Amino acid sequence: MNVDDVDSITVLGAGNMGHGIAEVAALAGYDVVLRDIEDEFVRKGYDQIEWSLNKLVERDRLSQEDADAALARVSTAVDLGEAVADADVVIEAVPEKMAIKKEVYTELEDHAPDHAVFATNTSSLSITELSEVTARPERFCGMHFFNPPVRMDLVEVISGAHTADETLDLVEDLAESMDKTPVRVRKDSPGFIVNRILVPLMNEAAWIVHAGDATMAEVDATTKYDMGLPMGSFELADYVGIDVGYHVLEYMHEVLGDAYEPCPLLSEKVEAGDLGQKTGKGFYDYEDGEGAEVPHDEGSEAVKNRLLGVMANEVAGLVENDVADPAAIDRAVKLGGRFPDGPAKMADGAGIDALVDALDDLHDETGEERYEAVAYLRDLAQSGEGFYGGEGSSDDAPAFDDISVEVRDGIGHITLDRPHRLNTISIELMDELSEALDALADDDEVRAVLLTGAGDRAFSAGADVTSIAAGGGDAVSGVEISRKGQQTFGKLEALDKPVIAGIDGFCLGGGMELAMCADLRIATERSELGQPEHNLGLLPGWGGTVRLQRIVGTGRAKEIIFSADRYDAETMADYGFINEVVENDGFEERAYEYAKRFAQGPPVAQRYTKRAMHNGWEDTDSGLEVEAQAFGLLFTTSDLMEGIAAFTSDRDPEFTGE
């Protein structure tokens, strides 16, 4: 069976994950049966799907017609036989208890069609052990969605010991058809990829505080600001639910040994029922206190190296045991954990030898197994190479990590490729963008440049504040960050070729400043634009104070910056910032066709037109002189002769730039 043969999907379990998976499947066009053991649970899950679809409509992420069609594809059931009678794929999302899941699969085997594929949404339990309850272990795998499934892009596709390659191929294709990014986990291993990285990291953070080696504020400041992670370790534990991570850790401890012994700090919270935001209190107090207020200036280099060392050790263990390669691990953790960078690349940046030394010192001091460096990590340290430079590295690691570049039909297409962070702009992304622009500037085959953002949620939501402003309060570094952005974005503006920004979704702050450097801007109806820097006590620092007023006028520019409001695409078109507003559907194709139109223009004339206009911004006489000199130069070009010949022959010109 391949993905084209899949028509009907049954989701077992109507809780948060179950109804979310059902919604995603229905949006992808599948007929979905949502099943739970009581009608009350099923009805609540169905109502949540309807609520979520309506929210997508309110936010212009979905049309009302498409939302109604998706909901119509969802039916509900309590009787298991009825629920799976026509199922091609059954996705199980019942509570994360091995005994409960085994009981479900034992009953499921009696009712499901012989051809049906079983996929469990478990976040850590053994795929192999679950599959052996059924009579179809070769057609059984893990399909681990992340919460909430509607918003999170990652799906871990996990092989059990008996899983056939055809099953993994089918489930990967199924995930892609749902507009998700599948990452294959080649071997059944507790925690798979993302939880295998995040849960030990959470545990180590707790051990650091438990041992009195640092305060909770120091640990969270380090993880959130010095490491650039989306939340502090304790803040994240509260957000996810301390019990959720703790139960995963318990299972890993049971299967993998004492290196994964849960810290008493975690067990105490679980026993007390202080599980985080959902109970009003966890490591932070959300009822009587101020919640998670993480100081930005209390980071610790020692804590950072300790956490990076533990994380690198987990990555090395996964690679050593052939669970996944570094590129897959990095991709999964960036998507599932919203890391600014992958853990393998972060470890390479810190230096593998330094991290092994930190682990060795901790092991000598404490004797704890969790600090014992795995053989593969030690080999990398001795060789002086990192995950992307040694034998275990991926052969097809991309040339760029945070952007992608494609040249086709004379268009150099740059995509900001950090959808897990709403394509926010980091220092690393700016470095890659600068390199890509230099290459496109020198490529005579490139006649126009198109700049877009990956996914349909954001062109770019601005600067990656946590990674760029790590440590904070340093005026000198702030000036350098501003200049770096100005210089990088300036390359886009100075490019001697038409530049088109294709905006879909959020275009905020630094993202809008980047779009200002394009010659033309096209945006979807659902796009939101704005300069929110004043809400942060900042000002636009990557050229916005200068460039925006040139485009929309001084009065409008001040309104946009001072208000810090968000503006829809139609309003920004009225202001002159957007050249064309298009429908949400088919945006990529429309943006490409828009760029292609300008790629067919006369390259020499376009080059000198930009130069004349830019010179004229500050000095009218200078601009007019460039215009006159360019006008004379163009009289000598072959393109002029081609343009005249095409005009007299009533055909489209074919300019060559000569």
For the chain, give every domain's residue range. Answer: 3-185, 193-383, 403-598, 601-649
- Among 366, 365, 386, 364, smallest CA distance to 376 is for 386
pLDDT of residue 525: 93
pLDDT of residue 628: 67
pLDDT of residue 393: 41
The CATH code of the domain at 601-649 is 1.10.12
> H or E stretch including 19?
helix 16-27
Task: Output phi, psi for 524, to 5 deg.
Answer: -80, 160
Distance (Å, whole) CA 19 – CA 245: 22
Any idea which residues carry the catalytic annotation? 123, 144, 156, 195
pLDDT of residue 175: 96
pLDDT of residue 391: 41
Torsion of CA 301, 306, 311, 312, to 10 degrees: 90
> H or E stretch including 264?
helix 264-272
- Among 16, 60, 27, smallest CA distance to 457 is for 60
- Among 587, 559, 588, smallest CA distance to 574 is for 559
Decide whether 403-598 matches 601-649 in CATH topology.
Answer: no
- For domain 403-598, the CATH class is alpha beta
Domain topology for 3-185:
Rossmann fold (3.40.50)
Burial class from Cβ neighbours inside 10 Å (0-12, 13-18, 19+) for residue 165 reads exposed
Positions of the chain with pLDDT lower than 70, given as ranges: 390-398, 466-474, 619-620, 622-637, 640-648, 657-658
Angle at 550 between CA 547 and CA 554, to 5 degrees: 105
pLDDT of residue 230: 85
pLDDT of residue 642: 67
Length of the chain: 658
The CATH code of the domain at 193-383 is 1.10.1040.50
